[in-house]
Amino acid sequence: MSVATTRRGAQRGRVPLAVIALLAGLALLAALPYLLGTYWQQLGFRALQLFTLAVAWNLLAGYAGQVSLGTGAFVGLGAYAFALLGNATGAPLPLLLLAAGAVAALFAIIVSPGLFRLRGLYFTIGSLALAEALRILMVNLSTFGGASGIVLQASTPPFYALYWLALVVALVAGGIVVALLHSPASLALRAVRDDEDVARQMGVRSFRVKLGAFALAAFLTGVAGGLQALKLGAIEPYGAFGMAWTIDTVAVVIIGGIATRGGPLLGTLLYVALGELLRDLPELHNAIGGLFLLLVIRLAPQGVWGLVTGRWAQRPGLAERADG
């Protein structure tokens, strides 16, 4: 009798409700372009893209325990791969997005033997240095357009198409990660996170586990980068490889709740809402986001999701899981 069964059993009365809510939500999301104008479609695109990044980072940092500050590197790689391959081959969009993700994943695989020699905090700093190095390199390499970047030959699709594309990507990303976390692989992942040495003593091939998580996160991040290239129609290194990607992603996940199921979603909603409130003052938005990040780390390490579910767990009949 697994834990999952216990939980489901206790929540039998609640299951239909959750499923209904989920389906309703999905229907609403899909129908959004019919209900709201292009401004909201753009905002929706941004939120879905951020959600994809958050899901990927949550997997890598929250469940595999590798805190990376190199999100920008993979967004940039994905964006450039999408643009270059698009210009060179004119392949259909979904294929290009997959390719963007694949290039990012490939890069992750190539650097992992070196990068994973760095444990814990070294990995974090190393990932930061890697992202910066890549950015500077791309600024200087004229083959990739140098500082002025690349223009996409294909025309930019209308906003509603971008929105739906982002929706599909976000759903697939969320789906893959949820499936992964419910699979036996999730045990190995969290074991490596909690205590890598003991995990290896239990027979876990920790390098492969870390590599798998890293490659998958890189893939999803790269796809998000491809979306960005598609949306902008032209990319340049400062924006594509910029720190802003990392900052936004980390803030979203930690505020939402790292290593929790609902963290990425909740964090995205809060962060985007905050961004809308401070629409005219983007720096203030970032600064306040940083402040929230600080407060969450100090006062609610499990994030807002953790706060919310913590209170709900007081009710009888809910099996308490350590990983939210």
Q: Which residues contact another protein by CB under 8 A?
A: 1-3, 6, 67, 69, 114-115, 117-122, 124-126, 128-130, 132-133, 136-137, 139-140, 184, 187-188, 190-191, 194-195, 197-206, 243, 247, 250-251, 254, 259, 281, 283-284, 286-287, 289-291, 293-294, 297-298, 301, 319-323
CA 79 to chain centre: 15
> Phi, psi at residue 26, to the nearest 5°?
-60, -40
CB of 8 to another protein, least distance (A): 12
* Dihedral sign, Cα of residue 63, residue 292, residue 36, residue 246: negative
- Please say which residue, 101 or 264, places its beta carbon nearer to another protein: 264
CB of 233 to another protein, least distance (A): 24
- Please say which residue, 136 or 277, places its beta carbon nearer to another protein: 136
- Please say which residue, 24 or 137, places its beta carbon nearer to another protein: 137
CB of 52 to another protein, least distance (A): 21
* Dihedral sign, Cα of residue 222, residue 223, residue 227, residue 229: positive
CA distance 274 to 111: 36
CA distance 181 to 187: 8
- Judge whether 99 and 229 are in contact, CB under 8 Å: no
- Please say which residue, 194 or 276, places its beta carbon nearer to another protein: 194
The CA radius of gyration of the chain, in Å to the nearest whole number, is: 20
For residue 247 the two structure tokens come to: 């900052």
- Please say which residue, 73 or 105, places its beta carbon nearer to another protein: 73
- Please say which residue, 211 or 250, places its beta carbon nearer to another protein: 250
CB of 320 to another protein, least distance (A): 8
CB of 178 to another protein, least distance (A): 17
CB of 311 to another protein, least distance (A): 18
| E-strand stretches of the chain | 150-151, 234-235
Give every CB contact of residue 225 below 8 A, 6+ residues apart in sequence.
74, 75, 76, 77, 78, 79, 80, 81, 82, 100, 104, 240
CA angle 215, 219, 225 (to 5 degrees): 140
CB of 127 to another protein, least distance (A): 10
CB of 321 to another protein, least distance (A): 7
- Judge whether 215 and 108 are in contact, CB under 8 Å: yes
**Nearest to residue 71, comparing CAs of 180, 218, 189?**
218
